[in-house]
Amino acid sequence: MIYNGEYKVKFYRDSGTGKEFPLDFIKSLNVKARSKIFKYIEYLRANDSYLDEPYSRHIRGKIRELRVDFSKNRFRLFYFCIIGKTIIILHAFLKKTDKTPLKEIETAENRLIDCLNNIEKYEK
C-alpha cells in the first residue's frame, strides 16, 4: 500500500491465492521502469485519483487506465476508486498493440468484481 495524505493506493489481492498480481508485475520490471510507474502512481494519488489524457483515460464502467510510457514500452495499469478515497490498482501489463486487448480489460473487470465482493479487505 502507498499512503501519503488523503488518498491511498492499494493493489488488487486475489481472494483465492492472496497474490498481488499488479504489484508482482511491477516488481518484475527493471528499476528504471519500476521507478517511473511508481512515480505515476504517486502522481495519480496526489491528484485525487483523476488525471486527464495522456496520463489516464476511461476504459469501461468504473475502470480507468494509467498510461506509463517508458522507452519503447507502453505500460498500462487499470484502476478504480472506492469510497474512502482508496485507489485500487487492478491490473498491470505491457501493451504491445495499438488497441487494448479485450482479455486485459476482462481481467480488470473480473478483478473489480472480486474486489467489490471482498471490499472489507480494502477498506482498512
pLDDT tens readout for residues 59-94? 999 999 999 999 899 999 999 998 778 999 999 999
pLDDT, residue 22, reads 97
Using CA atoms, how far apart are residues 98 and 111, in angstroms rounded to an integer? 23
Using CA atoms, how far apart are residues 15 and 90, in angstroms rounded to an integer? 13
CB 17 within 8 A of CB 6: no
pTM for this model (two decimals): 0.91
Domains and CATH numbers, the chain: 2-121 (3.30.2310.20)
Using CA atoms, how far apart are residues 114 and 98, in angstroms rounded to an integer? 28
In this predicted structure, the answer to whether residue 5 has a pLDDT above a threshold of 70 is no
DSSP class per residue in 42-91 = HHHHHTTT---TTTEEEEETTEEEEEEEETTEEEEEEEEEETTTEEEEEE
pLDDT, residue 124, reads 63
pLDDT, residue 50, reads 87
Instruction: Read off the pLDDT band of 48 (50, 70, 90).
Output: confident
